[in-house]
A and B are shown apart, each in its own frame.
Chain A
C-alpha cells in the first residue's frame, strides 16, 4: 500500500477569461517512509498539489488515495477525519493558535482526536523534548522565534501519529541556519518514526536534503529524481 497515490489528477481554476491549469494530469506515487520534495517556481502547482493530497481541495479529475484510502467520494467530514488521523500539516506561516501555549497547540490535535486527557502529557512531552521545545512548552506563539514556532508546528503535525506529513514551504520564513536545523529534524523524524514527508520548496538548499525531488512546471511533473542511497 502506497502512502500517496495519484492518477491523472487535474485541478483547473477559472481566472477572468482564462483557465489556470494549476495541476494538470499528475500521476504520482509515494511509498511509506519517503522523504520527498516538490520543487518548482511560484505558480508551478506545488501548493495546489499539496492541498489536493491533504484533502483541503478536490480534484477536477483523477483519482487520489491517501494511505490506501480513496478520497474521491469522501464527504467534507470524512476528509477532515482522514486529515485528523493520517495527515499532519506544516504551513509556511506556522499558523499556531495564538491563544494557546506551545504545549496546548500540540495538545489541540489530541483533543480533536478524542484522546483521553490523562494520556496527553505522555504523548506530548517526549515530542517536545525531541524537538528541543520542552523548556518552551508554556510559552505562547508570540513569545517564540520563527524557528521555534515552526518546530511547534512540526510537533503538532506528528503528535497524532500520522502516516504522512505535508509541509508547504516550511522554511520560507526562516533564516538558512534555522531552516537547515528544521529540515534535519524532519529528516530524523522521517528516519526514526517512518513518517512519510512531502514538502514543497523552491529553495535549492532545502530541496537538496530531500531523498526524492519531484519537479513541477505549469501543473505537470517534469522530473522525478531519486538520490542514490
Chain B
C-alpha cells in the first residue's frame, strides 16, 4: 500500500533522527522486557522454592491457623494426606508441624521454630532438606534427632552429636520438653532458618505437643502454579471433610512472598510506564518535526485532493512503521540475550552470597524467564503508543492550508 511505502521512505529522509528514535523505542522495549524477564525468572524460582519448603501450591490449614498460628490449631494429617494423595493432579503431599519454643544447650538457650517434617518423604523435594545445605552431620533419621541452623548452633555452642532440650507449649497450653541429639547443622542462606529453625521429625513434635497424627500444615504440590485455580475447589472439598479445615492457595498461606512478588510487579509497571512516557514524547517530537519540515509537501498533497482521513493515515502510518520496526528490534534483542541468560544465567554471587526474600533463599545465579504475554503486550503497547503520539502531528498536518504552503 502506497501510504506505508511513503511512510517507510519518509522515515529515512532524516536517517539520524529516525535512527535515534528507533533506538529509543527498541532500547526501551528491550529494557522493560529484559527487566521483566529477570523478575519472571527470579519469581518463578522463588515461588518454586517457596511452595516446596512452605505451603505447597495449595496448603490445608485449620481455619484459624494462618491468623493466630496457635499450636493447638492442628488438622488430622493421617486422615487427609491419603485422600489428597489419591486426587488426580496432586504430585506430592507433605504434612508439617510448626512449634515455636526454646532450644537449650548446656551453654545457652535461644528461641526457635521447631519444624516437624516427614523427612524421608520430603527429602527429595524440600530445598531445606537439600544435602548441600548440610555443613556438618546428617538430617535427622530418628525421632530423637534434630538438625539446627548454623547460626543457632554457634549461639548455643553445640556441634553434631551434642544434646539439646526443646521446650515448648503443648496443645493444652502446658509446658513440654524433650531431649534431642543434634544430627546435623544447616546453612541455607535464609536468615530465619539459619538462626532460628530446628528440623525434627513430625512424629517427635506431634508427641511433644500431644497431637499424634496431626499437622499444622499440609502442603499440596501440583504440576505448577497454573494448576491452582482448577484444583482449588476439589482440594477445598477434601479439606471440608475435616473439622474447621480449609485449603488456601500459596499467596494466602505465604503472604510475605506474595507481597514481595506483587511489589516487584508494581515496580516493573512503574518502570514500563516511565519508559513509555519518554518514548511517547520522543516519538511525538520526531513526528512533529517530520510534519513541520514537510509543510509544502502536505500542502501539495492537500491541493491534489487527498482527503483529511488519508493525510491522517499517512502521518500515523509513519509512526506505526517506526513503532513496529522499533518493537521488532527490541524483541529481537531481548530474545537473543534471553537465549543466553535463560540457559547460562547471570551470576551475581560476587555481589550476593546469602540472600533471601520473603523467607526464600535466592540463587545468586539468576536465569531469566520468558513471558509471551508481556512480549506481545509491551510490543503492541509500544506500537499503539507511537500511533497515539502521532495524533497531534497529524492534526498539525491537517491544519496546513494548501494555498499558503505551496507559496512557501
- Least CB distance from A119 to B in Å reads 14
The answer to whether B307 and A77 touch across the interface, beta carbons within 8 angstroms, is yes
B1-47 with Cβ < 8 A to chain A:
2-3, 5-6, 9-10, 13
- Least CB distance from B296 to A in Å reads 7
Q: Is B302 an interface residue (CB 8 A)?
A: yes
The answer to whether B403 and A100 touch across the interface, beta carbons within 8 angstroms, is no
* CB < 8 Å neighbour of A91 from B2, B3, B300, B310: B300
Query: Binary interface profile of B, 306-326, with partner A (CB < 8 Å = 1, else 0)?
Result: 111010000000000000000
Q: Which residues of A contact B307 (CB under 8 A)?
A: 77, 80-81, 84, 112
* CB < 8 Å neighbour of B303 from A76, A83, A104: A83
The answer to whether A97 and B305 touch across the interface, beta carbons within 8 angstroms, is no
CB within 8 Å: A-B pair count? 67
Q: Which residues of B contact A84 (CB under 8 A)?
A: 304-307
The answer to whether A100 and B302 touch across the interface, beta carbons within 8 angstroms, is no
* Closest B residue by C-beta to A96: B300
The answer to whether B305 and A83 touch across the interface, beta carbons within 8 angstroms, is yes
The answer to whether B300 and A85 touch across the interface, beta carbons within 8 angstroms, is no
* A-B contact list, 15 entries, CB within 8 Å: A56-B402, A56-B403, A57-B403, A77-B308, A80-B306, A81-B307, A95-B296, A95-B300, A95-B406, A97-B6, A98-B297, A99-B13, A111-B3, A112-B305, A112-B307
- Please name the 6 residue pairs, one residue from A and one from B, whose CB atoms are nearest each other, closest first: A84-B305, A83-B305, A99-B9, A56-B403, A95-B300, A111-B2
The answer to whether A83 and B308 touch across the interface, beta carbons within 8 angstroms, is no
The answer to whether A104 and B304 touch across the interface, beta carbons within 8 angstroms, is no
Q: Is A109 an interface residue (CB 8 A)?
A: yes
For the complex, give the distance between the alpha carbons of A81 and B307 in Å: 7
Q: Is A54 an interface residue (CB 8 A)?
A: yes
Q: Which residues of A contact B306 (CB under 8 A)?
A: 80, 84, 112
The CB with the most chain A CB atoms within 10 A, among B5, B301, B308, B403, is that of: B403
The answer to whether B406 and A80 touch across the interface, beta carbons within 8 angstroms, is no
* CB < 8 Å neighbour of A51 from B9, B296, B310, B403: B403
For the complex, give the distance between the alpha carbons of A80 and B302 in Å: 7
* CB < 8 Å neighbour of B304 from A99, A100, A107, A109: A109
Q: Which residues of A contact B296 (CB under 8 A)?
A: 95
- Least CB distance from A190 to B in Å reads 20
Is chain B's interface secondary structure helix, strand, loop, or mixed overall? helix
The answer to whether B303 and A56 touch across the interface, beta carbons within 8 angstroms, is yes
For the complex, give the distance between the alpha carbons of A85 and B300 in Å: 16
The answer to whether A54 and B10 touch across the interface, beta carbons within 8 angstroms, is no
Q: Which residues of B contact A82 (CB under 8 A)?
A: 305
Q: Is A35 an interface residue (CB 8 A)?
A: no
Q: Is A89 an interface residue (CB 8 A)?
A: yes
Interface residue tally on B, bucketed by range: 20 to 34
The answer to whether A97 and B297 touch across the interface, beta carbons within 8 angstroms, is yes
Given contacts A51-B403, A99-B13, A112-B310, contact A87 B2 (CB under 8 A): no
Spell out A's residues near B (CB within 8 Å). Answer: 47, 51, 54, 56-57, 76-77, 80-85, 87, 89, 91, 95, 97-100, 104, 107-109, 111-112, 156
The CB with the most chain A CB atoms within 10 A, among B2, B296, B297, is that of: B2
- Least CB distance from A10 to B in Å reads 16
Q: Which residues of A contact B401 (CB under 8 A)?
A: 56
For the complex, give the distance between the alpha carbons of A108 and B301 in Å: 9
* Closest B residue by C-beta to A82: B305
The answer to whether B304 and A89 touch across the interface, beta carbons within 8 angstroms, is yes
For the complex, give the distance between the alpha carbons of A98 and B297 in Å: 9
* CB < 8 Å neighbour of B5 from A76, A87, A104: A104
- Least CB distance from A127 to B in Å reads 16
- Least CB distance from A111 to B in Å reads 5
For the complex, give the distance between the alpha carbons of A81 and B310 in Å: 12
- Least CB distance from B298 to A in Å reads 10
* Closest B residue by C-beta to A89: B303
Q: Which residues of A contact B304 (CB under 8 A)?
A: 83-84, 89, 108-109, 112, 156
The answer to whether B305 and A99 touch across the interface, beta carbons within 8 angstroms, is no
Q: Which residues of B contact A85 (CB under 8 A)?
A: 305
- Least CB distance from A118 to B in Å reads 14
For the complex, give the distance between the alpha carbons of A112 and B401 in Å: 19
The answer to whether A99 and B300 touch across the interface, beta carbons within 8 angstroms, is no
The CB with the most chain A CB atoms within 10 A, among B6, B9, B304, is that of: B304
The answer to whether A80 and B308 touch across the interface, beta carbons within 8 angstroms, is yes
Query: What 10 new A-B contacts, CB under 8 Å, besides A87-B305, A112-B304?
Result: A56-B406, A77-B307, A77-B308, A84-B306, A95-B300, A97-B297, A100-B5, A100-B6, A111-B2, A112-B305
- Least CB distance from B155 to A in Å reads 76
Q: Which residues of A contact B2 (CB under 8 A)?
A: 100, 104, 107-108, 111
For the complex, give the distance between the alpha carbons of A83 and B301 in Å: 11
Q: Which residues of A contact B5 (CB under 8 A)?
A: 100, 104
* Closest B residue by C-beta to A160: B305
Given contacts A51-B403, A76-B308, contact A99 B10 (CB under 8 A): yes
For the complex, give the distance between the alpha carbons of A109 and B9 in Å: 18
For the complex, give the distance between the alpha carbons of A83 and B303 in Å: 7
Q: Which residues of B contact A98 (CB under 8 A)?
A: 13, 297
- Least CB distance from B199 to A in Å reads 73
For the complex, give the distance between the alpha carbons of A142 and B306 in Å: 23
The answer to whether B301 and A80 touch across the interface, beta carbons within 8 angstroms, is no
- Least CB distance from A52 to B in Å reads 9
Query: Binary interface profile of B, 272-314, with partner A (CB < 8 Å = 1, else 0)?
Result: 0000000000000000000000001100111111111010000
The CB with the most chain A CB atoms within 10 A, among B305, B308, B406, is that of: B305
Given contacts A56-B303, A112-B307, contact A99 B403 (CB under 8 A): no
Given contacts A99-B6, A99-B10, A112-B310, contact A80 B305 (CB under 8 A): yes
- Least CB distance from B399 to A in Å reads 11
Q: Which residues of B contact A51 (CB under 8 A)?
A: 403
